[in-house]
Structure 1
């Protein structure tokens, strides 16, 4: 016999009449009515035996078989509540955040693509875009500093964004 089986048998004999070994099968049958997995039946049976042994040491139980059924039923209820809570917790999809390394790699790859694209862009368009998107200058500031109209600044930004989008799509196809 394994160690656990010895413990269960000792526990079994501690609170059941040693001559009534059929009670073990009866209790397992009772548990089996409420539990689907055979391994769960064995677990609940063992837990019931352990609880009964602990209770027998503290108090004398007059009807140990009825009390054992009640203990088993409570353990089954506790187990189903625990399983329900675990299921309930998994109803929401866990959020998967990118690791710092993934974020850094993505950033570096985008930076390389942007640098390639900006290098091949006309200088005025590049300067307007860098001032607006990277340095955070307002369109009015860019107009004043570069001597351009607001319409020209808007066109440079729009064309640069269109060019970036197309270039990134080409890079991703490679």
Structure 2
């Protein structure tokens, strides 16, 4: 059966009577004429041929080209829907605002190290550090409440930060990323 034949009989070898290469070429030309990129036109034509072969093995096709163009058009619609759901070109770099798994694990480990270190600090040093760094109280205010000079408050903060830095280094954490503390 040649490529211009409009009817194809159903039979186990019915698909073998079609010039699939010529049908593929016709589909690619049709799709490119509709403005489809050449690579996408080839993919759609190939998928269309695969579907036509399956159909031709089980039933008679009244008009091979009419069915081929209908299948190709439906595949284009499916492709457009997929692209609109994904948000455009599949080759774009996707950026995730969530922290990486490594960062999460490092943060959890750092929190545990901080907690252990704080629990081991003398109570006065811990209180001064928490009030200054977590509650953002001034050294003067902390000193007045605890009957300490501002200089003594600063020394407690320095020693507490040194303790925290040592604990992080001994736990294998990079203290450079935690400079806010």
State the TM-score, normalized to the length of structure 2: 0.50
RMSD value, Cα: 4.6
Larger helix share, 1 or 2:
1
1:35 partner SS: helix
Aligned residues: 143
User: Any runs of at least 4 consecutive aligned residues in structure 1 with deviations exceeding 6 A, and if so which?
Assistant: 46-49
Distance 2:116 2:145 in 1: 26
Q: 1:88 to 1:158 in 2, by over 3 A?
A: farther
* C-alpha distance 157-18 of structure 1, shift in aligned 2 (>3 A): same
- Where 1:88 maps in the other structure, the secondary structure is coil
Structure 1 gap ranges (5+): 1-14, 57-63
Cα distance, 1:80 vs structure 2: 4.4
Q: What pairs up with 1:18-167 in 2 under 5 angstroms?
A: 18=9, 22-23=17-18, 25=20, 26-31=22-27, 34-36=41-43, 40-45=47-52, 64-82=63-81, 84-85=83-84, 86=86, 88=89, 91-94=93-96, 96=98, 107=108, 109-110=109-110, 112-134=112-134, 136=135, 138-139=137-138, 140-167=140-167
Q: Is the 8 A contact 2:44 2:75 kept in 1?
A: no
Distance 1:98 1:117 in 2: 26
Q: Deviations over 1:13-71 (max 9, x none)?
A: xx82439964463434544773249972444536998xxx9xx8xxxxxxx45533432
Inter-CA distance 92–105: structure 2 relative to 1 (3 Å threshold): closer
Correspondences of 1:1-12 after superposition (within 5 Å): none
